[in-house]
Chain A
Amino acid sequence: DQQVKQNSPSLSVQEGRISILNCDYTNSMFDYFLWYKKYPAEGPTFLISISSIKDKNEDGRFTVFLNKSAKHLSLHIVPSQPGDSAVYFCAARPSSNTGKLIFGQGTTLQVKP
């Protein structure tokens, strides 16, 4: 039972354009959502997060949007840079507050110069 889904395994965009990565979830009890960036053979690094009481959070070139009614979140990167090329994971935290995170399968982003 995949509670957090990233249906696009890969995405390719041109440098300077917008990258939009999508994530869907099924559990309405998730109260916190996070995006992580991961390079090969390294651990994921935290990128940006949003709580379920908000619908948007922005940090520099990165913006996360949350649509609770659709159980959908997205990460926008604008403008995209070649250094953004990595695997992006969305993650959700159950409101049980254990701190554990449920991860999606990841989307590989390639930003072409």
Chain B
Amino acid sequence: DGGITQSPKYLFRKEGQNVTLSCEQNLNHDAMYWYRQDPGQGLRLIYYSQIVNDFQKGDIAEGYSVSREKKESFPLTVTSAQKNPTAFYLCASSVPGQGYRATEAFFGQGTRLTVV
């Protein structure tokens, strides 16, 4: 079945450590996104990528890094510079819409990151 797979589902990190969250999609989508969800704040965009080897910062990119070496994969690294990393992280993909032919973004099941 086509879809987006995020792993792991739960992740614990010690303060000062970097950690990488995996996101893989087999939907043949060009665009991929990382969002962060905090209670009462909805989903905020961290990074997005429209094509391989290219990505742009979202609204809250500080303390995060990404790579897009393959169309199927868009891993997110939470670095020690991210001051409040404990959150629910969601990866999504889409076929960027042209004008009004926009298509919705499909989301993975999320990774709950906890800093201990």
Q: List residues of A whose CB falls within 8 A of some B CB.
A: 4, 6, 9, 31-32, 34, 36, 41-46, 49, 51, 53, 89, 91, 93, 97-106
By the criterion CB–CB under 8 Å, are B96 and A99 in contact?
A: yes
Q: List residues of B whose CB falls within 8 A of some A CB.
A: 4, 6, 31, 33, 35, 40-45, 48, 50, 56, 58, 88, 90, 92, 94-100, 102, 104-110, 112
By the criterion CB–CB under 8 Å, are A43 and B43 in contact?
A: no
The 3 closest A-B pairs by CB, nearest first: A43-B107, A99-B96, A46-B104
By the criterion CB–CB under 8 Å, are B107 and A103 in contact?
A: no
* Additional 12 contacts, C-beta under 8 A, given A43-B6, A103-B44: A31-B100, A31-B102, A41-B88, A49-B104, A53-B100, A89-B42, A91-B43, A93-B97, A97-B99, A101-B33, A104-B42, A106-B42
A44-B90, A93-B102 known; A99 and B48 CB under 8 Å?
Answer: yes
Instruction: List, in ascending order, chain A residues with CB within 8 A of B97's CB.
Output: 32, 93, 97, 99
By the criterion CB–CB under 8 Å, are B44 and A49 in contact?
A: no
How far is A40 from B43 in the complex, measured between Cα atoms in Å? 14
Contact of A44 among B43, B56, B58 (CB under 8 A): B43
Closest chain-A Cβ to B109's Cβ sits at a distance in Å of: 5
A34-B104, A44-B107, A93-B97 known; A99 and B31 CB under 8 Å?
Answer: yes
By the criterion CB–CB under 8 Å, are B110 and A41 in contact?
A: yes
Instruction: List, in ascending order, chain B residues with CB within 8 A of A93's CB.
Output: 97, 102
How far is A97 from B48 in the complex, measured between Cα atoms in Å? 13
Instruction: List, in ascending order, chain A residues with CB within 8 A of B109's CB.
Output: 41-43
